Amino acid sequence: MATPADRDRLRRWRDAWMTALPRARAADPAAIAAQGALFVPDAALMESAPPAGRYRCRVFKLGGAGSAMRDFTAYPAFDCVIRDEGSVRSFYKETGSQRPVGLLFPDGDRTIFLGTLLLGEERAALQYGQDRDRDMAGMLERVGERRWRLVLPYPRFESLLDVIELVPAE
């Protein structure tokens, strides 16, 4: 079950987009335009859940949180995996200095992500709900034929909105 703070984040997902996207677009309009549907808030397509498997994930941070943060940051692709865990699936970003890990829950036409953040060289994730600063909540949405995004509104660090693009690793 989502914590009260994460339920609030999920309710305010559109506010995060509407605040962060114009700031990111002002910082790098060409980069935002080049990603097409990835940065269109209402671009989600039906059947949001990606199949289990290996993915290449690119992280984008939109709307800097704090005066030292940029309003648009794009990272190179990292390794991610989605696994079947019985009635739900798990998502794990395997490489990078900030690695979301958590469970994916079907919710009608969308998929909800509830997880936590691994930092640096940590090998084990904190249990969800144990550390408010590490808890993450978002929505996994399909935005193309073989393209998904994990939208994380109001993460605790660096940005107002994180968007993680997932494409199958081949």
Q: Can you tell me the mean pLDDT for 126-150? A: 90
Measure CA of the first residue to CA of the last residue in the chain; give whole Å.
34
pTM of the model: 0.93
Any alpha helices (H) in 1-98, and if so which ranges? 4-11, 13-27, 29-34
Cα 165 to Cα 77: distance, rounded to the nearest angstrom: 9
pLDDT tens profile 6-52: 999 999 999 999 999 999 999 999 999 999 999 999 998 987 789 99
Strand, helix or coil for residue 82: strand
pLDDT tens profile 59-87: 999 998 876 689 999 999 999 999 999 88
Beta pairing partners, 64: 159
Q: Look at residue 66 in the predicted model and tell me its pLDDT.
A: 72
Q: Look at residue 128 in the predicted model and tell me its pLDDT.
A: 82
Confidence of residue 132 (pLDDT cuts 50, 70, 90): confident
Give the Å distances, CA to CA, from 29 to 78, 79, 82: 24, 27, 31
Q: Look at residue 68 in the predicted model and tell me its pLDDT.
A: 66
Q: Look at residue 67 in the predicted model and tell me its pLDDT.
A: 67
pLDDT tens profile 101-119: 999 998 877 899 999 988 8
